[in-house]
C-alpha cells in the first residue's frame, strides 16, 4: 500500500508541477507581449486609412447605408438623433469620455429635455477605465442602465452571468436604426477601420424591439418601456441576437449555415479571429470545395495576446487553402461577411468564443445581390494594400514566434 500511495502522490506532484509551469509560461509570455505592445503603442502615430463612399441601396421595403468611416457614421447618427420625434434607444459596449462621447451626450440631453423618450445602455465592465464622473453625469431626463450581469452573490456561480453587453445600436422613432462594430469615441471616428449599417424602414422596428426586450429584462419594473413594435417576417433582412441568459447563440449557427452553402466565395472580415472547431471546420471544408475563402484580420490589433492566439490558426488555414490577409493601415474592428455575391452580415459579433458562445451580440443578415456587391467593393478596398500570407513564408517565421504561439494555444478556449 505504501509504495502505491507514494506512487500516486508522485504522479499528483508531477501533474501539479506541469500545470504550474504551463500557467506560468502562459502568464509570462502574455506579460512580455503586452509590455512590447505598450512600448510600441507609445511611439505609434495614428494614421488615416483608405476608405470609400458607398451609396444607399434599396433592399425590399428598407433603405440600407453602409459605413466604413466613423466620422461619416457619427455625423448621420447625430443627425438622426436631432430629428427624433418620439424615442431614441442607444446601446454601446464602450462610450469614451472624449469629444465624441460628450457630443453624443449633449445631443441626447437636448432631445430628452424636449420631451423625446431617450434610453441609454452601456456595459459597466467595458467602461471600467472611463471616469465615474462621465458615466454618472448623463442628464436626469435620460433613462440609463449601466449593464452588469453579476449583481448578486448567487450570480457568481452562474456562468451565464459573466456575459458582457457587446451590442452597438441606435434606433430612432422605430424607423431609423444603426447597427455594427462602432463604439462611441473619437479614436474610432477617425483612426479605426470598422463597419456599421443604417437601416431606414420597417426592419428597424425589429431592432427597436430587441433593444426594448433587453432593457425590460435589465431595468426595474417601474422603468420598463411599454411601447411594443410589431415583429414581422422579412424575406430580405433578418436579425440574430445572442441571449446568454437563455443560452441561445444563433449568430454562430447563422455563420456556419451560410458558409456551408457557399459555392464561389467567402469574404470574411473580423477583428479577433479565434474560431471554435465547428466554425473553423466549416471554413476549411468550403476551401476544400474550391470556394475562394478569404479572411481579413488586423495585422496588429488592440489586443496583442489575441493577435498571437489568432495567428496560431494561420498554418491550419493556409494548409486548407484559405487565404489569410493582414490589414496594416489601422486597427480593423469590422465584423462582416459576404458570400457568393448574395448573402451578407454586418453586426457586433467577433469570430471568437466570447462572441459565439458568450456575450450578448446582434447581427443583421441580408439577402441582396446589390448590397453584397457593395460589401465586395469594400473588401477589395481593404485588401488592396494589405499583407497576404503564403504557407511557405508563414512556416519560416522565427522559432520563438512558434513557441510563443504554442504556449498561448490553451488560452483559445477563453477568448
Q: What's the number of domains the chain is made of?
A: 3
Angle value at C-alpha 230, between 226 and 234, nearest 5 degrees: 150
Q: What is the pLDDT of residue 214?
A: 96
Domain finish residue from 178, 207, 235: 235
Asked if 256 and 231 sit in the same domain, the reply is no
Task: Evaluate whether 362 touches 179 at the Cβ level (below 8 Å).
Answer: yes
Residue 270 to residue 156: CA distance in whole angstroms = 31
DSSP code at position 230: P
Asked if 394 and 320 sit in the same domain, the reply is yes
Asked if 332 and 302 sit in the same domain, the reply is yes
Helix then strand then coil, % of the chain, to nearest 5: 45, 20, 30
The verdict on residue 4 lying in a domain is: yes
Determine the structural domain holding residue 130 and report its residue range: 57-235
DSSP code per residue over 232-290: ---SSEEEEE-BTTTTB-HHHHHHHHHHHH-SSEEEEEESS----HHHHHHHHHHHHTT
Asked if 174 and 254 sit in the same domain, the reply is no
Q: What is the pLDDT of residue 5?
A: 46
Q: What is the pLDDT along the chain (415 residues), one digit of tens a residue?
A: 455 545 555 766 666 665 555 555 555 554 554 555 555 566 666 677 888 999 999 999 999 999 999 999 999 999 999 999 999 999 999 999 999 999 999 999 999 999 999 999 999 999 999 999 999 999 999 999 999 887 777 777 777 777 899 999 999 999 999 999 999 999 999 999 999 999 999 999 999 999 999 999 998 888 999 999 988 899 999 999 999 888 889 999 999 999 999 999 999 999 999 999 999 999 999 999 999 999 999 988 777 667 767 788 888 999 999 999 999 989 999 999 999 999 999 999 999 877 888 899 999 999 999 999 999 999 999 999 888 988 888 877 766 566 656 665 655 555 5
Asked if 222 and 142 sit in the same domain, the reply is yes
Residue 137 vs residues 120, 145, 403: alpha-carbon distances, Å: 13, 13, 48
Which among 165, 140, 169 is positioned nearest to 81, based on CA atoms? Answer: 169
Q: What is the CATH number of the domain that holds 196?
A: 3.30.870.10
Q: What is the pLDDT of residue 78?
A: 98
Asked if 142 and 187 sit in the same domain, the reply is yes
Residue 350 to residue 307: CA distance in whole angstroms = 13
Domain finish residue from 235, 264, 281: 235
Asked if 217 and 101 sit in the same domain, the reply is yes
Residue 296 to residue 325: CA distance in whole angstroms = 5
By DSSP bridging, strand 169-172 and strand 196-200 are unpaired
The verdict on residue 240 lying in a domain is: no
Residue 320 to residue 283: CA distance in whole angstroms = 9
By DSSP bridging, strand 196-200 and strand 62-67 are antiparallel
Asked if 113 and 175 sit in the same domain, the reply is yes
Q: What is the pLDDT of residue 405?
A: 60
Asked if 25 and 125 sit in the same domain, the reply is no
Asked if 118 and 153 sit in the same domain, the reply is yes
Whole-prediction pTM: 0.89
Domain finish residue from 235, 268, 290: 235
The verdict on residue 48 lying in a domain is: no
SS3 state at 41: helix
The verdict on residue 45 lying in a domain is: no
The verdict on residue 49 lying in a domain is: no
Asked if 270 and 394 sit in the same domain, the reply is yes
The verdict on residue 75 lying in a domain is: yes
The verdict on residue 244 lying in a domain is: no
Q: What are phi and psi of 67, to 5 degrees?
A: -120, 140
The verdict on residue 243 lying in a domain is: no
Asked if 22 and 131 sit in the same domain, the reply is no
Amino acid at each position: 500500500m505504501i509504495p502505491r500511495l507514494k506512487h500516486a502522490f508522485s504522479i499528483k506532484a508531477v501533474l501539479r508541477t506541469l500545470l504550474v509551469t504551463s500557467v506560468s509560461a502562459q502568464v509570462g509570455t502574455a506579460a512580455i507581449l503586452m509590455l512590447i505592445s505598450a512600448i510600441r503603442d507609445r511611439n505609434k502615430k495614428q494614421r488615416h486609412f483608405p476608405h470609400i463612399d458607398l451609396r444607399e441601396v434599396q433592399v425590399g421595403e428598407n433603405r440600407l447605408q453602409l459605413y466604413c468611416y466613423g466620422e461619416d457614421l457619427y455625423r448621420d447618427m447625430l443627425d438622426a438623433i436631432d430629428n427624433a420625434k418620439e424615442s431614441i434607444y442607444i446601446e454601446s459596449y464602450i462610450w469614451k469620455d472624449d469629444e465624441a462621447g460628450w457630443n453624443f451626450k449633449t445631443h441626447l440631453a437636448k432631445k430628452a429635455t424636449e420631451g423625446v423618450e431617450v434610453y441609454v445602455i452601456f456595459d459597466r465592465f467595458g467602461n471600467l477605465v472611463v471616469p465615474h464622473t462621465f458615466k454618472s453625469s448623463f442628464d436626469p431626463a435620460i433613462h440609463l442602465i449601466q449593464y452588469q450581469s453579476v449583481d448578486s452573490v448567487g450570480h457568481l456561480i452562474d456562468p451565464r452571468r459573466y456575459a458582457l453587453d457587446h451590442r452597438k445600436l441606435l434606433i430612432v422613432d422605430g424607423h431609423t436604426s444603426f447597427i455594427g462594430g462602432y463604439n462611441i469615441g473619437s479614436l474610432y471616428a477617425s483612426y479605426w477601420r470598422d463597419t456599421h449599417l443604417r437601416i431606414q424602414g420597417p426592419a428597424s422596428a425589429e431592432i427597436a424591439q430587441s433593444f426594448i426586450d433587453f432593457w425590460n429584462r435589465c431595468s426595474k419594473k417601474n422603468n420598463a418601456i411599454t411601447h411594443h413594435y410589431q415583429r414581422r417576417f422579412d424575406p430580405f433582412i433578418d436579425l440574430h441576437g445572442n441571449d446568454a441568459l437563455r443560452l441561445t447563440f444563433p449568430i454562430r449557427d447563422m455563420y456556419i449555415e451560410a458558409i456551408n452553402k457557399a459555392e464561389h466565395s467567402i469574404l470574411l472580415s473580423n477583428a479577433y479571429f479565434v474560431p471554435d472547431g465547428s466554425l473553423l471546420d466549416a471554413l476549411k471544408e468550403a476551401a476544400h470545395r474550391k470556394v475562394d475563402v478569404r479572411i481579413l484580420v488586423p495585422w496588429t490589433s488592440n489586443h496583442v495576446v489575441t493577435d498571437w492566439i489568432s495567428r496560431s490558426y494561420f498554418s491550419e488555414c493556409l494548409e486548407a487553402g484559405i487565404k489569410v490577409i493582414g490589414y496594416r493601415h489601422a486597427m480593423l474592428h469590422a465584423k462582416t461577411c459576404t458570400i457568393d455575391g448574395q448573402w451578407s452580415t454586418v453586426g457586433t459579433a467577433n469570430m471568437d468564443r466570447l462572441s459565439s458562445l458568450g456575450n450578448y451580440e446582434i447581427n443583421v443578415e441580408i439577402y441582396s445581390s446589390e448590397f453584397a456587391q457593395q460589401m465586395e467593393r469594400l473588401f477589395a478596398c481593404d485588401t488592396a494594400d494589405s499583407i497576404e500570407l503564403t504557407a511557405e513564408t508563414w512556416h519560416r517565421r522565427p522559432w520563438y514566434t512558434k513557441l510563443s504561439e504554442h504556449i498561448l494555444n490553451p488560452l483559445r478556449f477563453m477568448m
